[in-house]
Amino acid sequence: MKQQIVRFSPHQNGKVMAVMMALSSLVFLVPFALFAFAMAPANARPSFLMVLAMPIVYLVMGYLMVAVGCAVYNFLSGYIGGIEYESRGLDA
């Protein structure tokens, strides 16, 4: 059975993706920061505040980009149709 996604909730999807992006940024940020603090010369080390701010930047930008993307999708799906997918019931 073919189905179409008619609408994405910008706020809910933005919240979920923002938290996922902030948490996943830590996977890369923590090792990078430890390496940078250990290996870089004293005058070239990254600021500790910058390291703390990056997950917050990812959170805010992730929310904004996903919310805007959902709003654009909702607008366009009224004119050109939504994402279409095919599903099958469990008894088939």
Residue 92 predicted with pLDDT over 90? no
Residue 48 predicted with pLDDT over 70? yes
Query: How is the chain split into domains, by residue range?
Result: 2-83
Using one digit for the tens of pLDDT, what is the confidence trace for 61-86? 999 999 999 999 999 999 998 999 99
Name every residue whose Cβ is closer than 8 Å to that of residue 62 and which is 6 or more positions away in sequence: 14, 17, 18, 20, 21, 22
Mean pLDDT over 39-43 rounds to 84
- Confidence (pLDDT) at 21: 95
Does this model's pTM top 0.75? My answer is yes
Three-state secondary-structure class, residue 45:
coil
Give the Cα separation of 36 and 34 in Å (integer): 5
- Confidence (pLDDT) at 37: 85
